[in-house]
Chains A and B, each alone.
Chain A
Amino acid sequence: MVAIKETVDQVKGLDVEEYKYGFVTDIESEKAPKGLNEDIIRFISEKKGEPDWMLESRLDAYRRWRTMTEPTWAKVDYHDIDFDDLYYFSAPKTKEGPESIDDVDPELLRTYEKLGIPLREQEILAGVKTSKIAVDAIFDSVSVVTTFKEELAKSGVIFCPISEALRDHPELVRKYLGSVVPVSDNFYATLNSAVFSDGSFVYIPEGVRCPMELSTYFRINEPNTGQFERTLIIAEKGSYVSYLEGCTAPMRDENQLHAAIVELIAHEDAEIKYSTVQNWYPGDKDGKGGIYNFVTKRGDCRGDNSKISWTQVETGSAVTWKYPSCILRGDNSQGEFYSIAISNGYQQVDSGTKMIHLGKNTTSRIISKGISAGKSSNTYRGKVSAHRKATGTRNFTQCDSLLIGDQCSAHTIPYMDAKNRSVTFEHEATTSKISEDQLFYCQQRGLNEEEAVALIVNGFCREVLQQLPMEFAVEAQKLVGISLEGSVG
């Protein structure tokens, strides 16, 4: 049909250079020499003043990593990464670690201002319209500032960079670090365990409902620098926390590596809600540059009646390889995965989740919305398994794919594995296209083509958008529209 052809032509004219966060901050940085060896690891560990056991653990990971090879099973295709041509540590130069916001380089503060991330507590307090959100801002390999620390400390909540936690709460970190994602879990996780730079540490004491949203904002600035963030969240018995991470990077022609680990531990009756809005630079319209986003995220519902919920809005990165998962160990524990993955241009996404049911009467829910446009490839890969003893287990999975144009692709790869008979697994999958008639209907009411696409896609993603904390839902909705700009019209 004429109309379909027109859409295809429009998609050809797409322009992913519209990336709005692509500026570079001009700031002096201190780097470890390029490449990776035991000396570099000692350098990183020493820079952070870590305890000996941490250094030993890093070295052990490094030695294992040397014997491992990159996984190839994901449906993504990218240039070989030369791990010796990367910087593994880069920090903005400051006298000492910043004590307060006033010690932070104004150039950095301007960067976060441009990104719309409020770091000055008094400004946040003065603003009546926004509710309070504590932010840990991570710039390349280090945390530059964490807000509302004192206020959180009043309720016993620890929210700080993980390098600080290693100094101030080493026993807690030692107890939990690597307890969900073991050192030898996978190639990128092992690499991260050797060289991880910074990330957030969150500890919610027993019975405490965290008084505000916590969030970490990751920014890669330096060229040829890998970012290896490490986040650890522990929710003690009966506690609750909602946490959000956001990410952006400048536009650069080279690819940049981001290999993170996030570990969540929920004890009895505790609940962790983890949301991600990932908008790393996706590369230009010819597929040049962009972030390689190879991330291991896993939550452990360790106690009975605990709950972990992952919500992700993935719009950026050249290549995404990411499967936020739940180990449902405690009886009656619940795991949730709500995902929106948008790919445009030459982006490649292979993402999904694993729900590992070990405890009795555990339940999980997976809602995945994949939107592909341009020449992108978008794969949902999920695994739901029930252990022999995990009787009464239930899973509901729904995977919906939406295609824009006809040069992109969507794939759904669900694995199911039930080792006992009292298991209920339900799986639904749909693939649809934005219809010309739907677009025309919206346009006839006055929406231009881009507004119409954004509206229809937001409608398609609604169930997932509703899971985001209110403060971020509106932003995410806009981001959905922005990341599809140029996919038609």
Chain B
Amino acid sequence: MLSIKNLHAVVDGQEILRGLNLEVPAGEVHAIMGPNGAGKSTLSYVLAGKAGYEVTKGSVTLNGENILEMQPDERASAGVFLAFQYPMEIPGVPTLTFLRQALNSQLRTRGEDEMSTPDFMRLIREKSAELKIEQDMLKRAVNVGFSGGEKKRNEVLQMAVLQPKLCVLDETDSGLDIDALRIVSDGVNALRSPDRAFVIITHYQRLLDYIVPDKVHVLSKGRIVRTGDKDLALELEDKGYAEFEETAA
């Protein structure tokens, strides 16, 4: 599904990703952990194609397709979804309108028919109920005045509606209380499927109790420095990241 080879990326003249390799097969959930400033968010932006994140070397393919050549919206339509660590506010645009336009834009780009209003409403009702999202929240402007938990649930709702192939979640657990964490995790788990891959970026092991990963990678100084199974997360919780900060130096 996702294949990253020897990826180097520069931000503001500084090399942040320095030869990163990562393979995430379809149907698997991989966690990426690492100290602050390791380059986790940078990786997510590079995958999504944010301006200013320049790839200087290496390749990224999704189901064999080179996504680095694509515009951000084309990547989205090709199935790349990023749940943002800090979702943006869009004043005056109701969440429902935003979701509808996003979905229809993707369908159009893929040459498919737009979804009818009744079908769309049915889909939204079903998905928002799963995430315990009130209809009232869908009428409010995108992320404006949303609590931290609402913003994250909104990200997962968008993911559920857009049905991407590759889901990258950046610190989706940060700022969530235990109830919200459970709701969000249930939402993510419901989306697990044999033809979808997940990259879950987190700083804390806690999230991985709910979303159990197939593999755990440690990212430090722009590289994957260790890979293990879910027990690696527990070990990191115990020992912290000090070891990696040194070895990668």
Contact = CB atoms under 8 A, between A and B. Distances in A.
Interface of A: 1-3, 6, 435-438, 440-449, 451-452, 455-456, 458-463
A441 B88 contact: yes
B150 to A, nearest CB: 16
B73 interface: yes
Interface centre among B75, B77, B102, B158 (most CB of A within 10 A): B102
Contacts of A444: 48, 72-73, 75-76, 81-82, 84
Q: What is the size category of the interface that chain B forms with chain A? A: 20 to 34
B105 A463 contact: no
A438 B101 contact: no
Contacts of B92: 458-463
Interface of A is mostly: helix
Contact of A455 (B101, B103, B106): B101
Given A1-B52, A2-B52, A3-B52, A449 B73 contact: yes
A441 to B, nearest CB: 4
Interface string B82-121: 1010011111110000100111011001000000000000
B162 interface: yes
Contacts of B84: 441, 444
B73 A459 contact: no
Contacts of B76: 443-446
Contacts of B225: none
Given A446-B105, A446-B162, A459 B48 contact: no
B101 A447 contact: yes
Interface in B1-19: 12
B88 A448 contact: no
Interface in B163-200: none
Interface string B53-79: 010000000000000000111011100
Contact of B98 (A1, A2, A440, A445): A445
Interface of B is mostly: mixed
B51 A445 contact: no
A436 B52 CA distance: 10
Contact of A445 (B89, B141, B158): B158
Contacts of A3: 50-52
Interface centre among B12, B91, B162 (most CB of A within 10 A): B91
Contact of A451 (B90, B105, B158): B105
A194 B73 CA distance: 55
12 contacts: A435-B88, A438-B89, A438-B90, A442-B90, A444-B84, A445-B162, A446-B77, A446-B103, A446-B162, A455-B98, A456-B93, A459-B93
Nearest to A460: B92
A435 B52 CA distance: 14
Contact of B87 (A2, A441, A458, A463): A441
Contacts of B89: 438
The 3 A-B pairs at the shortest CB distance, nearest first, are namely: A459-B92, A462-B92, A459-B93
Interface centre among A1, A456, A461 (most CB of B within 10 A): A456
Contacts of A442: 90, 98, 102
Contacts of B103: 446
B144 to A, nearest CB: 9
A436 B39 CA distance: 20
Contact of B88 (A1, A438, A451, A460): A438
A445 B90 contact: no
